[in-house]
Structure 1
Amino acid sequence: MVIDDSKTIRRTAETLLKKEGCDVLTAVDGFEALAKISDQKPAIIFVDIMMPRLDGYQTCALIKNNPQFRGTPVIMLSSKDGLFDKARGRIVGAEQYLTKPFTRDELLGAIHRHVSTV
């Protein structure tokens, strides 16, 4: 699943992942994502940090606080690459932090690193 308020980022990630044979869900913000996560149970979640309504940190914390999804890998996406931002991602339970613009290899590497069935 790719959660990002930027249509360009969602489309780019979706296109890259679909070319590799992945089924991809997208959401424009954390609220939309939480409903889809409940229904679809994605194997991995990429979430932008800076989003309206519910930011990436809040979204990640809500996912990780739900026992059903605690084990689902969450990868933070951000144009910020500061130490504080990365640390905050770890605090809310993110497994990894990718800086935008990300590459195809970074996306696939995160999937291979965190999802055992790929």
Structure 2
Amino acid sequence: MVIDDSQTIRRTAETLLVKEGYEVVTAADGFEALAKIADQKPDLIFIDIMMPRLDGYQACALIKGNAKYAATPVIMLSSKDGLFDRARGRIVGSDEYLTKPFTKDELLGAVKAYLKSGQ
């Protein structure tokens, strides 16, 4: 699942992942994502930090706070690369932190690292 308020980022990530054979669900913000997570039960979640209504930190904390989804890897996406931002991501339970713009190799490397089966 790719959650980002930027349609460009959602499309880019979705295109890269679909080309590699992954099924991708997208959401424009944290609220939309939470509804889709319950329906789709994604194996991996990429989430932007800066979004309207419910930011990435808040959404990640809610996802990780739910016993059903606590084991689902959450990878934060941000244009910020500060130590504070990375630490805050860890505090709310994120598993990884990718800085935007990410490369195809970074995105696919994160997927492969967290999805042991590869699909």
Q: Same fold (TM over 0.5)?
A: yes
Partners of 2:50 and 2:87 in 1: CA distance: 15
> Structure 1 runs of 4+ off > 4 angstroms?
none
User: Could you state the TM-score of these two structures normalised by the residue count of structure 1?
Assistant: 0.99
Q: Shift in Å at residue 104 of structure 1?
A: 0.7
Aligned counterparts, 1:2-13, within 5 A: 2-13=2-13
Aligned counterparts, 1:1-118, within 5 A: 1-118=1-118
Between the aligned residues of both structures, percent identity stands at: 75
Partners of 1:37 and 1:47 in 2: CA distance: 12
Residues 47-99 of structure 1 show CA distances to partners (whole Å, capped at 9, x for unaligned) of 00000000000000000000000000000000000000000000000000000
Gaps of 5+ in 2: none
Give 1:15's aligned amino acid: T
RMSD: 0.4
Residues 9-35 of structure 1 show CA distances to partners (whole Å, capped at 9, x for unaligned) of 000000000000000000000000000
User: Could you state the TM-score of these two structures normalised by the residue count of structure 2?
Assistant: 0.98
May I ask how many residue pairs the two structures share in their alignment? 118
Partner SS, residue 47 of structure 1? strand
